[in-house]
Structure 1
Amino acid sequence: MDLNYYKVTGDEKIKLSDYPTTENKTNDNEKIRDEIIPPLVKKLKDLHMKMNAEEKHGILVVLQALDAAGKDESISHIFVNLNPQGLKTTTLSKPTEEEMKHDYLWRLHNALPARGEVGILNRSHYEEVIAPRIHDVLLEGDYPEGADETTIWSLRFEQIRNFEKYLYQNNFHIVKFFFHMSKDEQKRRLLERMKNPDKQWEFSFSDVEEREHWDEYQKVFEDMLNETSTDYAPWFVLPADDEWHSRRLVNEIMLDLLERLDPKYPETTGEDKEKLEEYIKRLEKE
């Protein structure tokens, strides 16, 4: 599978409409779920265990989309299988009063992974270049000197690129998934949640209200992808109408990154190795 097909390189401007929301893989859901994903998850888990033990690299995973596109399901079907000691999941929802007193990236710091960890952002710092553009909710203090309603977004894009480059240069790798869903598919999924008593807890009235801004969101998402996809922190656009196919892609892309990092279990050497052998003999004699 050519994963570069889904990757936004940042080398040239893209049109979001050129990326499909489906590759007609829904008929393969059962095969992907039962036959393809399990061995991929096992490989991912094994590599994550090595990375967690090595404590050399960290990975920050960004999951961004409109509601019902599949972010939560990717966590529950893929990432939940990883070693919990090396996993950190954070949802950056609407900023609190305390968070609004700081710069917009301040609240991200507690969500960042340590070396050896995979940190997952279910919604992320990218909310700060999405929702405020749709709803015009920036405060006076959010504008740096010389910036206005039009120039602040290019400034924030630059700041995000620089921040992600700083993380990358310190061995924290960023992989970003945009779940590209059609309006019809979101409607189907929202109605399924609303009509099923066991799924109504997943539904929020704001999910329907935000659909009124669908076209605006597509334009903002397109700008986000074009302005912040880099070689060190690329975006991958997933055909989110195909739920299990998208989850497979998340797994494949994560595997590709970890295989390139090639983590290894630390070796016991020197005095520690001698002491280890001594303790092995001690226990064997009991």
Structure 2
Amino acid sequence: MSKKPSKSLAHELDRYITPFRYDGSGKFHLKAHKTNEKGDLDKEKALAILDANKKRLIAFQEKLYAQDRWSLLIVFQAMDAGGKDSAIKAIFEGINPQGCEVHAFKAPSSKELDHDFLWRHVIALPERGHIGIFNRSHYEECLVTRVHPEILAKEKLPSKVVTKNIWKERFEDISAFERYLCRNGTLVLKFFLNVSKDEQRERFLDRLEDPAKQWKFSMDDIKERALWPRYQAVYQDIVRHTATPHAPWYVVPADHKWFARVVIGSVINAALEKLDLRFPRADKASLEEFEQVRKALEREEKRGNTKKSRKQPHAK
């Protein structure tokens, strides 16, 4: 009897991927996406999946690095205390740091403001064989800059290009940028960690009470929290206008960090599986050369053993 074909990893993890994927087809309403979704999991089961996903990711990254053809760009966006930092730490634990870089984009410097809005993100892109993680990203230029229009003035754009269509144009520029990356072998995965306002309050309180977390808290977080409805509306607009089949958004329920990490890890592993990553195979000439080297090393070992035996003292 022939064996049944094994299910692909993407099929196995699909329940934690497809419900949260939006590629621009159909309508998108952020309020329709639950923040406290747990799927069919409890925390114990989720941690087991997270551990399995870590091991898979380590294996995929080794092949990605060795093959040196594809690169992976992972984008994280969220409200403050959405869980970006802790998700990155938990999911990428054990990854070879030689092939992975995390970039946390803060307010742009004066030098960065003297360039186009994508410049600082372009120079941080992962090279072939590498994973690049953007903790906040080029989407801040359509988010914070839109919620706080005064920031746009600091970019010193010519007045003629700052029109009522600027956000629509930036969406178009970003979509074209991501399409360009995909056409050049960079897989783009975008995650919006969708946390509720109530959960954000609980995490802020936790930061205030825990001395090990107080450094994370800023009064600016409270000022931005007051603008919650505005941020939610802008995020909805961003997802609607920049989700595409080649660079979809994953709207991740983030009230339960353990479930969010299951979703993120599952998406990344399933996407890497589709790349059919393999270790490079040596050609015939290389194999012949390897055989010569092997024989030379074996001869060297034999000579070494012979010399050692000659130096052995005679037994009395």
| Same fold (TM > 0.5) | yes
- In 2, Cα distance between the equivalents of 1:274 and 1:27? 52
- In 1, Cα distance between the equivalents of 2:256 and 2:103? 25
Which residue of structure 2 aligns with residue 12 of structure 1?
Answer: 26
Shift of 1:202: 1.7
- In 2, Cα distance between the equivalents of 1:267 and 1:44? 21
Preserved contact between residue 26 and residue 244 of structure 1 (Cα < 8 Å): no
Read off the aligned partner of 1:112 and give its amino acid letter: L
Q: In the TM superposition, what whole-angstrom CA distance separates every residue of 1:80-109 from its partner, at most 9, and x where no partner exists?
A: 322211101101110001100110001012
- In 2, Cα distance between the equivalents of 1:143 and 1:231? 33
Which residue of structure 2 aligns with residue 138 of structure 1?
Answer: 152
TM-score by length of 1: 0.95
Shift of 1:144: 6.7
Which residue of structure 2 aligns with residue 108 of structure 1?
Answer: 121
Are 2:50 and 1:76 aligned? no
Preserved contact between residue 64 and residue 123 of structure 1 (Cα < 8 Å): yes
Preserved contact between residue 89 and residue 111 of structure 1 (Cα < 8 Å): no
Query: Where has structure 1 moved over 3 Å in runs of 4 or more?
Result: 24-27, 143-147
Are 2:68 and 1:55 aligned? yes
Which residue of structure 1 aligns with residue 9 of structure 2?
Answer: none
Preserved contact between residue 54 and residue 93 of structure 2 (Cα < 8 Å): no
Task: Note the 1:47-196 alignment, pairs <5 A.
Answer: 47-136=60-149, 137-139=151-153, 141-142=156-157, 145-148=160-163, 150-196=164-210
Assess, with a 3 A threshold, how the Cα gap between structure 1 residues 111 and 144 changes in structure 2: closer, same or farther.
farther
Preserved contact between residue 73 and residue 131 of structure 2 (Cα < 8 Å): yes
Q: Where in structure 1 are there 5+ consecutive unaligned residues? A: none
Which residue of structure 2 aligns with residue 45 of structure 1?
Answer: 58
Preserved contact between residue 25 and residue 242 of structure 1 (Cα < 8 Å): no
CA radius of gyration, larger in: 2
Matched position secondary structure for 1:236? strand
Preserved contact between residue 26 and residue 243 of structure 1 (Cα < 8 Å): no
1:220 pairs, out of 234, 243, 266, with: 234
- In 2, Cα distance between the equivalents of 1:24 and 1:271? 54
Matched position secondary structure for 2:160? coil
Matched position secondary structure for 1:262? coil
Matched position secondary structure for 2:246? coil
Read off the aligned partner of 1:130 and give its amino acid letter: L
Read off the aligned partner of 2:259 and give its amino acid letter: H
TM-score by length of 2: 0.86
Preserved contact between residue 9 and residue 230 of structure 1 (Cα < 8 Å): yes
Shift of 1:110: 2.1
Q: Where in structure 2 are there 5+ consecutive unaligned residues? A: 1-13, 302-316
Q: In the TM superposition, what whole-angstrom CA distance separates every residue of 1:107-130 from its partner, at most 9, and x where no partner exists?
A: 012210011011000000000000
- In 2, Cα distance between the equivalents of 1:74 and 1:20? 19
Assess, with a 3 A threshold, how the Cα gap between structure 1 residues 188 and 25 changes in structure 2: closer, same or farther.
farther
% same residue: 39
Shift of 1:213: 0.3
- In 2, Cα distance between the equivalents of 1:10 and 1:265? 34
- In 2, Cα distance between the equivalents of 1:115 and 1:97? 30
